[in-house]
Structure 1
Amino acid sequence: MKTLFLFNFIQLFFFTNGLISNSTSRQRIFCVIKTFGGNLATRASTVHQTWASRCDKHVFLTAANLTKWNNTVLPILNLHDVSDNYMELSVKVFDALNQIIQEPQPYDFDWLFMADDDTYVIMEHLRELLQHTRKPLAFGHLFVPKNQAPGHLSGGAGYAINTAALRRMLPNLQTSCADWYVPGMEDVYVSRCLQHLNVSLDGAIDGYRHRFYPLEFITMYKMELPKWFSDYNSLQSYPGFDCCSTNSISFHYMKREWMHLIEWARYLHADD
């Protein structure tokens, strides 16, 4: 059974016609990968070796004391005034955004893409989605709670914010989004900030399927969906290949072995 899933996984990511895109998008993507000090040599290193290398530039976001990582080759945005734990992830992300939006303009990127260190991203598909627009906009997996609460983008699936939206955060997030610059749920608070600034949140729906996934592929394929996903999902779920778009952009909770497998199937094997 495991071999069958492995075969289907490779089918989706490699043997599908036109899978590797020749996108003509000139949009520059700055990838910011959320991680922790203890993951730098493992998850972060794998992301650095795989999909992050296809961003126009990328950094790993951590609040760790990096003394023991002085020899690391990873590009790191280190934050010193916040704890390196999940409970303060929202503050860590807001601190990072605060630094980024205050860089000299014009920015040297067009879109900022925020993801986790266990997210795998097919950058060609992301580039096909991200086109130039003056409209303040953010893309990602849009959760729509059934309790009628406002929707929000999934942090694990990753979300892309254009520079038009980032400029609305100026002069700083302590001023523009003070209510959400506190410990809490990072993806909810970033989404609330964007909504407060009149930035459109787009779920990037491909027909009847998502393109950003807050779960790994096999979970979607087998429809072993946790209750929280069903409570927040806005589309009907389907088993097998119909689970996911052939233009899928990201999957969350991906093991390092799966990342290397996709890398081999899509890129290294293609050179043989």
Structure 2
Amino acid sequence: MHFFARNYLQILLFGFILMGTFYGWRNLGYSLLQGMFYARSPSAIIDNDKLMKWQLEGKVHRELGGDRHDNTIVSRKPKDQVKVKVLVWVMTSPMNLQTKAKAVKETWGKHCDKVIFFSSETDQNFPTIGLNVSEGRNHLTAKTMQGFRYVYDHFFNDFDWFMKADDDTYVIPENLRYFLSDQNTSKPIFFGHYFKNIVKQGYFSGGGGYVLSKEALRRFGERGKDPKLCRQDGGSEDVEIGICMQNFGVKAGNSTDALGRTRFHCLTPEVHLLGPYPKWYFEYVGKHAKWGTESISDYAISFHYVDPKKMYMLEFYLYHLRFSEQQKLIENKR
């Protein structure tokens, strides 16, 4: 009955997509809500020995009848067995404090292990940490370099992973931690929305956010001031960080899920869900890039260009909206 009800709801919600962007948001919120619930509560399904065996053998999709949106855990390890602490720092500016940065602080920022805000000026009331860097897109590289340098100097020993996001990035920290719980922070690696061009090994979109392992940050902290390895200002921030990491021997990791669906996203939820992508996207990602529910992981981590109103909408859909089948699962475990 649960299987039928879940799929009926998904079919119904998919139909809503055709009725407009608003319903597309609801469908995405529903899918992510499922992923978040099971990321937070692996015991709801993981006590089944056969399912665990399927997970370990990578057979979940086939054994469960090909349902690409089943509520199964694709990670090899239950989240409650691996603890990770993630620091997220947000790049903002004085003009955005009471709009974009405020929305981040009041929505997804509340769910982080720790979130800090960097700006060109210190504001003790918000608060923000001033980096003594001029404002403007021409100085995003300097702001990013200074931001990671500050994090290395003050927080390196306190966290396992370190993520940079913009003030119009929407992050789902539970899914971020869940994904990272299966990764090794002692390895030189970082993750994000992958772009294949410009940098030899590829690089990650700045707007979609990218997360560095402890080893990656250590290498940056020890060698990041060398202008031969890392451009200190100018250029495109995400490209320069990509080149910098490549010069340190930090690998651009693969963050897609077991079904090849993306977790980090450089565009809005609407575009990734409903399309179409702008022409440049295919040059950066590949000509076979697809949009729709079959391309977005149920455990999605980030989206870009999310304005404050939509951040509050996502906060409601992901953390407050509930559906009856979830409540039944919770009650059955008591």
Q: One fold, TM greater than 0.5?
A: yes
Greater helix content: 2
Find 1:43's aligned residue among 100, 105, 109: 100
Q: 1:235 to 1:56 in 2, by over 3 A?
A: farther
Count of equivalent residues: 264
CA distance in 1, matches of 2:287, 2:34: 26
Answer yes or no: is the 8 Å Cα contact 2:32–2:299 preserved in 1: no
* Percent sequence identity over aligned pairs: 30
Work out which of the residue numbers 173, 181, 184 in structure 2 matches 1:123: 173
Distance 1:94 1:17, change over 3 A: closer
Q: Give the distance between the partners of 2:189 and 2:199, measured in 1 at CA.
A: 22
Change (3 A) 1:103 1:172: farther
The structure in which a higher percent of residues are strand is 1
Does the alignment pair 1:216 with 2:268? yes
Q: TM-score, normalised by structure 2?
A: 0.72
Task: Look up the match of 1:229.
Answer: 281
1:45 counterpart SS class: helix
* Aligned pairs (5 A) from 1:98-137: 98-103=149-154, 107-131=157-181, 132-137=184-189
Q: Deviations over 1:230-270 (max 9, x none)?
A: 11114833343223111111110112222111211221234
> Which has the greater radius of gyration?
2
1:1-272 alignment runs, 5 A limit: 1-2=19-20, 3-14=22-33, 18=37, 21-22=40-41, 23-24=79-80, 25-64=82-121, 66=122, 69-72=123-126, 74=127, 76-80=128-132, 82-103=133-154, 107-131=157-181, 132-145=184-197, 149-175=200-226, 178-206=229-257, 207-234=259-286, 236-270=288-322
Q: CA deviation at 1:227?
A: 1.5
Q: Which runs of 5+ in 2 are unaligned?
A: 1-18, 42-78, 328-334
Q: TM-score, normalised by structure 1?
A: 0.88
Between the aligned partners of 1:29 and 1:97, the Cα distance in structure 2 is: 14
Secondary structure of 1:174's partner? coil
Where does structure 1 lack aligned partners over 5 or more consecutive residues? none
Q: Distance in 2 between matches of 1:253 and 1:77?
A: 23
Change (3 A) 1:258 1:177: farther
Q: C-alpha separation between the residues in 2 aligned to 1:138 and 1:17?
A: 22
Q: Helix, strand or coil for the counterpart of 2:260?
A: coil
Give the alignment's Cα RMSD to 1 decimal: 2.4
Q: Give me the whole-angstrom Cα distance separating, in 2, the residues matched to 1:136 and 1:51.
A: 27
Amino acid at match of 2:109: A
